[in-house]
Amino acid sequence: MRWFLDMCIILGYIHEGDNQKIITKTISFVNQKKDDKFVLCYYIKEDNLPRWLNRKRIMFREILRQIKDSSYKPYSNNECSYLWERDKNQILKLVSLANTIQDKTEIIRNFENVYQEIERRIKEFIEKNIDELVIPINEIDQKLKSCLFTWLTPNDSDAKTIASAIQEHNKKEIVIITADKQHWTKELLEEVHNDFSLKKVYAKLPEIRYIQNL
């Protein structure tokens, strides 16, 4: 089987000490790979993962501003425009955790240790588990991507990743593996076939499986 990995599989696998079902399932899925192949698109490796990592760094700088400068108005720095609502919720938790640590230098050390370890685990995951990198970013079909983006999901990252998956599937069969039941659906993929010209080019649509159901 050729599995086309969503980014959440990598982030789920590198998780530390969390007993959520989804994490356990992800780790078990990866560890039982055996003769299967894992396929990753260039977009995730070269664009989406670095951007996710960068958001984490922006979050940390925001935390730092909030804890060291009482006159700082939260999220007033321009770079905060890159943060998502979810990031802001995480910042709230991290600020309260940081406030329990007296030595501010220790907070930086802790965060940098975590960041470095996340980077290391991602790199290790790709080196050890990814068998093929597919669809260079500049080869993503913009029409396919736009169709997905405009009509199916208001999420550029998902649109590019799914477009890569559909393109790859029409070259060589893959099965998409994800944890995102909300956005990555069979119905969503089928919408591509409502566009006649896209249906002609991408006659086959890949199967989606959810890590939770394995």
**Binding region for another protein (CB under 8 A):** 7-8, 11-12, 14-18, 22, 48, 52, 56-57, 59-61, 64-65, 68-69, 72, 76-79, 86, 89-90, 93-94, 97, 101, 104-105, 108-120, 157, 179-180, 182-183, 211
Phi first, then psi, for residue 198 (nearest 5°) are: -70, -35
Classify 34 in phi/psi space as left (phi over 0), alpha (psi -120 to 50) or beta.
left
Q: What is the smallest separation between the CB atom of 66 and another protein, expressed in angstroms?
A: 9
CA atoms within 13 A on the CB side of 167: 24
**Cβ proximity to another protein, 64 vs 175, nearer residue:** 64
- Among 136, 156, 142, 174, residue whose Cα is nearest residue 42: 136
**Cβ proximity to another protein, 64 vs 201, nearer residue:** 64
Q: What is the smallest separation between the CB atom of 110 and another protein, expressed in angstroms?
A: 5
Contact 200, 167 (CB under 8 A): no
- Among 189, 53, 180, 181, residue whose Cα is nearest residue 121: 53
Q: What is the smallest separation between the CB atom of 64 and another protein, expressed in angstroms?
A: 7
The DSSP call for residue 35 is T
Q: What is the smallest separation between the CB atom of 125 and another protein, expressed in angstroms?
A: 12
**Cβ proximity to another protein, 110 vs 142, nearer residue:** 110
Q: What is the smallest separation between the CB atom of 78 and another protein, expressed in angstroms?
A: 6
**Cβ proximity to another protein, 98 vs 198, nearer residue:** 98
144, containing H or E segment: helix 142-147
28, containing H or E segment: helix 21-31
Residue 92: CB atoms within 10 Å: 13
**Cβ proximity to another protein, 115 vs 151, nearer residue:** 115
- Among 9, 10, 12, 11, residue whose Cα is nearest residue 20: 12
**Cβ proximity to another protein, 32 vs 71, nearer residue:** 71
Q: What is the smallest separation between the CB atom of 113 and another protein, expressed in angstroms?
A: 5
